[in-house]
A and B are shown apart, each in its own frame.
Chain A
């Protein structure tokens, strides 16, 4: 039965149900329990934002707090995955990949290929992504393109509680390394989520709104900016179609191409830095595979090519807004052959 829960609860519930189902599902991370070795409360934090709170009481052997040592514990998760476990490593903020990237992109991602198809590395690396927390340049990035670039990794970035639970359960069961990106500004978002276990296949986009004038292709928090822009544009008689990619690798280009073929116009919205991001990849692929369907120039909405600033004034200017998305749609509607 479905009821409304937050995206944070959806993450918690997915891990809880998978740990109950499969004792090889373990989780390693900094403060995922919290208070380990301290004299105070047990399960003091449940993760830095409380996402895994309560899981330790139910699965005391399956959650292990780690030293502040990302290379060691992310690598240990990868090694354990190659030895029959199904670990989830929590990287806390995706920005911390800088100190453990080798274990992800040179080890986990490449075992299967280098070892002639004989290795399986079913590890999930969960991390918070995105700006809006006034957390500045080293705790706010949207680094999805870096992982999407690496063959051997799958990359997921959901936008709703429903997708979060289904995609996370699927990611845990997947036999490949999966980077699971959770937007910290969506943790409080509530939505209908079934109580029981279910999966959503990786590599299937979701058309969250149908329309005939322009396609907006996006993922994560930006899906909600696109929905907001669509409401504004609807009042002007402009009907946009919104494609939520949900997974970035594998990428559901079929759904994107189908949508653009229908609307003839494309706006790519990405919270990642503007060069070589998911939006530019989508734009390039549409230009290559559906050029004939395009009635106008492709538009991109992305932050400036700058680090995420601290000052709230600046950070609000940095993050793409619904108004910028709506403007981009209007530009492409004015452009091209009429």
Chain B
């Protein structure tokens, strides 16, 4: 007999969220492998370990809502509905990728899905999302904007200026600080003067919430609160998700700055997918067979995306100078 559902999401919605988180994990873990083989050009920054933040927050959004992401943006893209095959093609530098191979991992965007771009410049998304939110106010459709930054970029002037601007204009923006403890290889505690992002938010006269970013349900509920507030005209908020990074700053980072045993501990005790599974299994809402079936289909999706990316044509000389301007 099915147990009653103690969660704020239906079983179907929980399964969808799990599928999205698992898709991000497999996407990133596969990139980790393919990058080490030398299949992928350039810089890649992996989101594995942080899935509960992207999915817990973006599950609340529709296509009309906008997000601005970071250099570590694959998870935000997938959770906002960007096509996984197009993403993989882009990361492989192929035609048919989201940017036709001209953007790469750090510049994946799909404006039709409200995804305004991963960004190679730390903190640059914050002013952009203020503009998206301003446009939403003009449209009067109760759309919101979400700006993701890491704890590192939370010290950028653009981010701090945007907190003020959003507060002054009462914009429907949620600033999400994904605090994984590291700004590249430098610790958050060394590089950031305040211990609490709630304090930083209060410095701008806006509400701040800190949440365990490895707990999908906690993120989902906290995000629901600040997003509802923004939609109802209550203005901006700051949401800090305390989380863990499974990989280095970039692929190839030896991570010698991490304490001995830290990575093992993080993967065993702070894996947001394990935590999610434990919650839904112990409540009896979802069975392990159901999760296993999703795992299997996600693996197949990622394998297919890699095969499609490898088979896709490379851009040519003719593509080099197109799409610089709309018209010139």
Contacts and interface: CB of A to CB of B under 8 A. Distances in A.
A116 interface: yes
B66 A175 contact: no
Given A73-B165, A115-B107, A117-B323, A82 B121 contact: no
A99 to B, nearest CB: 8
Interface string B101-140: 1110001011110001101110010111111101110110
A10 B66 CA distance: 36
Contacts of B164: 67, 69, 72
A248 to B, nearest CB: 13
Interface residues of B, number: 47
B214 interface: no
B121 A106 contact: yes
Interface string A1-40: 0000000000000000000000010100000000000000
A158 interface: no
Given A79-B128, A112-B324, A71 B103 contact: no
B158 A71 contact: yes
Given A69-B161, A73-B165, A75-B124, A24 B138 contact: yes
Given A72-B164, A112-B326, A116-B103, A83 B132 contact: yes
A160 interface: no
Nearest to A66: B165
Interface stretch (B37-45, B92-100, B254-262, B298-306): B92-100
Nearest to B97: A116
A324 to B, nearest CB: 33
Contacts of A112: 323-326
Interface string A61-105: 000101101011111111111111101000000000001001100
Given A71-B161, A176-B325, A81 B103 contact: no
A75 B127 contact: yes
Contact of B131 (A67, A83, A106, A175): A83
B129 A102 contact: no
Given A24-B138, A72-B161, A115-B111, A78 B128 contact: yes
A307 interface: no
Interface centre among A103, A116, A119, A203 (most CB of B within 10 A): A116
Contacts of B120: 106
A176 B135 CA distance: 18
Contact of A80 (B98, B109, B132, B328): B132
A72 B116 contact: no
B282 interface: no
A194 B116 CA distance: 40
A79 B129 contact: yes
Interface string A99-140: 100110011001111111111100000000000000000000
Given A72-B161, A72-B164, A113-B323, A79 B124 contact: no
Interface size class of A (residues with CB under 8 A): 35 or more
Contacts of A26: 138
B130 A82 contact: no
A151 interface: yes
Given A26-B138, A83-B66, A112-B324, A118 B111 contact: yes
A79 B158 CA distance: 13
A82 B326 contact: no
Nearest to B325: A176
A87 B130 CA distance: 13
Contact of A175 (B162, B322, B327): B327
A114 B107 contact: yes
Contacts of B101: 116
A264 interface: no
Interface in A193-229: 203
Contacts of A85: 131, 134-135, 138
Nearest to A23: B138
Interface centre among A81, A103, A117 (most CB of B within 10 A): A117
A102 B112 CA distance: 24
Interface string B163-184: 0110011000000000000000
Contact of B127 (A72, A84, A117): A72
Given A106-B121, A114-B103, A176-B326, A75 B135 contact: no
Interface of B: 66, 68, 97-103, 107, 109-112, 116-117, 119-121, 124, 126-132, 134-136, 138-139, 157-158, 161-162, 164-165, 168-169, 322-328
18 contacts: A24-B138, A26-B138, A67-B164, A74-B127, A75-B126, A77-B131, A79-B68, A80-B132, A83-B66, A83-B116, A102-B158, A113-B324, A115-B117, A152-B324, A152-B325, A154-B328, A174-B327, A203-B328
Given A118-B109, A118-B110, 9 more contacts: A67-B164, A72-B130, A72-B158, A76-B127, A79-B68, A112-B326, A115-B98, A119-B109, A120-B326
* Across the A-B interface, the 5 shortest Cβ-Cβ residue pairs: A75-B127, A79-B131, A117-B323, A79-B128, A80-B131
